[in-house]
Copies of this chain bind each other. A is one copy, B any other.
Amino acid sequence: MGIERDMGPGAKVLLLSNSTMHGENYLAYAEPHIKDFFKKCNVDRVLFIPYALNDMDGYAEVAKKAFLRMGIELDSIHTFSDPHWAAEKATGFFVGGGNTFLLLKRLYEADIMDIIRRRVLQNGIPYVGSSAGTNVATVSINTTNDMPIVQPPSFQAIGLVHFNINPHYVDPDLSSKHMGVRAS
């Protein structure tokens, strides 16, 4: 469940709704798409951004294993002393899911959104996002379903695409009697 768009000369963005399908391993359903996407870009090493979860060490380990299955090396940005340097040198980006507000707040704190935007849109560095990593690739996080557990300085996001996405939209349950017709 992803969309792949070529946003202009060289810009390559693959946005996935989620990382895990029911009963499958992390990223399993998406592996052929991610593998093919990075292969077409001649990329065999990506920078992982695990900011959307609190256990960044554990998250990076899971992501590293999944990417190794695809023949791609993965370094997590939280292991670099200088995130600017890591973002400037990355040959590909993978931004994982979790809480969108937490992810965006930490992206602002690391001050790397301008670098990612420039490198993806101007230098053709490929970007893969999943769930929260998809939300932050859009214009803003105004359409997330996540709970606002922390407050980023702005809801404006990286803006790799010119629209917003709700990665976990579910059709309304018309048989629900949870509340009234007006959800207020």
Interface residue ranges, A against B (CB under 8 Å): 18-24, 26, 52-53, 96-98, 130-132, 141-145, 147-151, 154-155, 168, 170, 176-184
Q: A82 → chain B, closest Cβ, in Å?
A: 26
Interface of A is mostly: loop
Minimum C-beta distance from A13 to chain B (A): 19
- A170: min CB distance to chain B, Å: 6
- Interfacial chain B residues near A176, Cβ < 8 Å: 22
Copy count, this protein chain: 2
B53, B142, B147: the one contacting A143 at CB < 8 Å is B147
Contact A178 B168 (CB under 8 A): yes
A23 to chain B: which residues have CB within 8 Å? 177, 180
In the bound complex, residues from chain B placing their C-beta under 8 Å from that of A144 are: 147-148
> 13 more A-B contacts (CB under 8 A) besides A19-B180, A98-B184?
A20-B179, A20-B184, A23-B177, A24-B180, A26-B180, A26-B182, A96-B184, A130-B184, A131-B184, A132-B184, A141-B148, A145-B147, A170-B178
A52 partner residues in chain B, CB cutoff 8 A: 184
